[in-house]
Structure 1
Amino acid sequence: MMKYSTAEKSFSRKILRLMAILISLAIFLGIGGIIYYHQSIGPVNVQNGELVVIEIPKGASTLKIASILRENHLIKNDLSFRILSKLSKAEGKMQAGRYQMSTSMNAREIIDNLIKGSIFKDAAKFTIPEGFELKQIVDRLESLGLIDREKFMELVNNGDFQYEFLKEIPKGENRLEGFLFPDTYEIAKGATEEEILTKMLDRFDEIFTDDYYHRTKKLNMTIQEVVTLASIIEREAQLEKERPIISGIFHNRLNKGMLLQSCATVQYVLGERKANLSLKDIDIDSPYNTYKNIGLPPAPIASPGKASLEAALYPSETDYYYFVVKSDGEHSFSKTYEEHLRAKNGN
């Protein structure tokens, strides 16, 4: 049996202690490195993210991409980004282009965006309120510098738009009145007049579901008639809860062959929204004047929103045939003309 001298035992203990220290140091450094790595791939500014637009050139290496991101303060460490790219198998998959990134994004989110090619486009926003007439839509888009008026109107009148709801509407003056859905839109700067119109018509197509088409047929109406009625409801009703009731009144009058007598249709002819119409106003000669012509006007008078479309399709069942607006904005509803006169006189 071998015996170790005291010196040899002491040396062995020193070696073991050194190994233990080295192992502990390696573990410490490894843990520290992992912590540092995870911190370094985190967001540069998690609290107040700043939007930064960057350009990734075609054929850029991961090294080049990391450099661009670091220079724009979007990542904390080039090497950590490159390691993450390798671990994520993103190398060679990140796409060239112009991107908008936030300093609150972490490196993984940035890599995902670069792989997806979520390219940033300068965009413009515009809002079309419910009840806007075509001319108001055109005025707004022109004032924002988004359209050429003549080009836009030529497309409105004669554009070749393939939608089910336009199939039976012939080309001609103001063909798209009522079908340019009121909403807030975001478009790429420099979008063409056709692209803008298509976006608005796509939105109408999205809102006017198959159920709406079926309901239109059940009511024995055309789509244009539904939209026309909805546009009148949009202009007459101020409160959401009153739309189905007002729709019910109009349906009742249509079924009885009565004049609709809608001030909104006369205002459309006049080209202005007068608070009170004169006898001369309601005597104006126009197919849109529902004080003189039985039935609906020939086309919509404004762009109705979803609530008015639904009201036109699903009216309240009511015995009312008349309504008049009160001072507080609500309407008073009446079954007979005598009741209506009393309501008008405030009795």
Structure 2
Amino acid sequence: MIKKRSTILIILFIFTTIAYFYNQIGPYDKKSIDEVIVKIPKGSSVYEVADILFENHLIKSKLFFVNLSRITNKDKNIKAGTYKIPQYFSNKEILELLNSGKIYKDFIIVTIPEGFELKQIAQRLEQQGLVDKNKFIDLANDVDNFKREFDFLNEEGITSLEGYLFPDTYYLEKTFSEEAIIRLMLRRFSEVYNKEIRQRQKELGLSLNELITLSSIIEREAKLDNERALISAVFHNRMKIDMPLQSCATVQYVIGERKAILSNSDIQIDSPYNTYKNKGLPPGPIASPGEASIKAALYPADVDYLYFVAKKDGSHSFATNYNDHLKNRRENLGR
């Protein structure tokens, strides 16, 4: 009886071990249709390749991948290059692809920096031969065309995709249309616009349009990460007491030029985006904010600052009253 039980346990152990092995070398997600673009540098060892694949959610176990590559003699023939690998590929299929050298060439890497305006995004994509700038801008101004797929665009006040084309590095196929690229950027925004952000936004009583508008102003004003929350606090504090935001970035958006110093005529320009003449937030975003600026808009620093002035090194001097602000201006601007 004891011998029979031991035999059963051994058989169960063997079957469990085999099942575990095949699970570990199987697809990372067999139900996923996502494809991941990875770059294998020249001279990479099989261990380095395993690290890259694991970090990109393409394999479940680095150890099992390395061992399988050695058992099948595929560890010495991995070819450098950029590959497009589906998440439903097993370890065996990935090794076959990496040994084949069938690299993925038909894409262009484009980085959209935080703080880029819609027209700047369109310009950069056109320079890469990916879009017609005017067509891209026209499509981005037709919000209704994207509302069915992206429900957040149905919120009140959103009349353009300015601010919602998320800044990031994109791998774009040359065959992508203007609309496909816009959808990709909106999809990236929807990933960032998560439950935590929505909940905090609700707590502050902000609409999505107000949140992204404020975030875009913070993005344009802040040069240093550690000052985003401070700049956010200045704007929150001003709005609480019905004081104009007086953001140079909003005027620069109107005049279409990022001037270092605005003239008196600039700040008197007649536009709802001119926060020197109008109280509260402008009608919409002035650029695409990154996640850090969105978080800063949601979590302003607990300070009483009402003013800030830029210093030559890109940082800012902050003040709680106008007299101290004037002093900071004289020290930093000489006027």
1:119-166 deviation line (CA, Å, top 9, x unaligned) = 946111101011111110011111111012333223212223422321
* 1:89-100 aligned within 5 A: none
Give the paired residue count. 250
- Aligned partners of 2:292, 2:231: CA distance in 1, in Å? 12
- Relative to structure 1, the CA distance from residue 248 to residue 295 in structure 2 (aligned partners, 3 Å threshold; closer, same or farther) is same
What's the offset of the Cα at 1:327?
2.2
Instruction: Report Cα offsets for 1:280-333 as digits up to 9, x if no partner.
Output: 000000000000000000000011111100000110111111111122221111
TM-score (norm 1): 0.66
Trace 1:216-231 onto structure 2 (pairs within 5 A): 216-231=201-216
> How far off its partner does 1:109 sit?
6.0
> Does the 8 Å CA contact 2:118/2:137 hold for their aligned counterparts?
no
Asked if the contact 1:157/1:171 (under 8 Å) is kept, the reply is: no
| Gaps in structure 1 of 5+ consecutive residues | 1-45, 50-83, 86-100
Correspondence 1:332 to 2:317? yes
Deviations 1:37-70 (A, max 9, x none): xxxxxxxxx9747xxxxxxxxxxxxxxxxxxxxx
Contact between 1:283 and 1:292, CA under 8 Å: does it hold in 2? yes
How many angstroms does 1:169 deviate by?
4.7
Partner of 1:317: 302
1:278 equivalenced with 2:255 (yes/no) = no
Query: What one-letter code is carried by the residue in structure 1 that aligns with 2:264?
Result: L
**1:102 equivalent in alignment to 2:88:** no
Higher mean C-alpha displacement, 119-128 vs 183-192: 119-128
Partner of 2:154: 167
**After the TM superposition, which of the residue ranges 259-268 and 192-201 deviates more from structure 2?**
192-201
Q: Which runs of 5+ in 2 are unaligned?
A: 1-40, 45-71, 84-90
Q: Give CA-to-partner distance per residue, 1:3-39, whole Å, 9 cap, x none.
A: xxxxxxxxxxxxxxxxxxxxxxxxxxxxxxxxxxxxx
Work out which of the residue numbers 96, 106, 127 in structure 2 matches 1:143: 127
Code of the residue aligned with 1:102 in structure 2: it is K
1:123 aligns with 2:110: no
Task: Tell me the C-alpha RMSD between the 2 structures.
Answer: 2.9
Choose which of 154, 159, 173 in structure 1 pairs with 2:138.
154
The residue type paired with residue 187 of structure 2 is: D
Counterpart of 1:268 (choices 246, 250, 253) is: 253
Whole-angstrom CA distance in 1 between matches of 2:103 and 2:265: 58
Letter in 2 for 1:346: E
Amino acid at match of 2:288: S
CA radius of gyration, larger in = 1
From the superposition, tell whether residues 109 and 267 of structure 1 become closer, same or farther in structure 2 (CA, over 3 Å).
same
Residue 280 (structure 2) aligns with: 295
Closer, same or farther: CA 197–169 of 1 in aligned 2, 3 Å: farther
Matches within 5 A, 1:75-94: none
Deviations 1:90-144 (A, max 9, x none): xxxxxxxxxxx72799x95665549xxx994611110101111111001111111
CA deviation map 1:197-228 (0-9, x unaligned): 11111111111111101111111110110100
- What's the secondary structure of 2:131's corresponding residue? coil
Q: Which amino acid aligns with 1:148?
A: D
Map 1:47-58 → 2, pairs under 5 A:
48=43
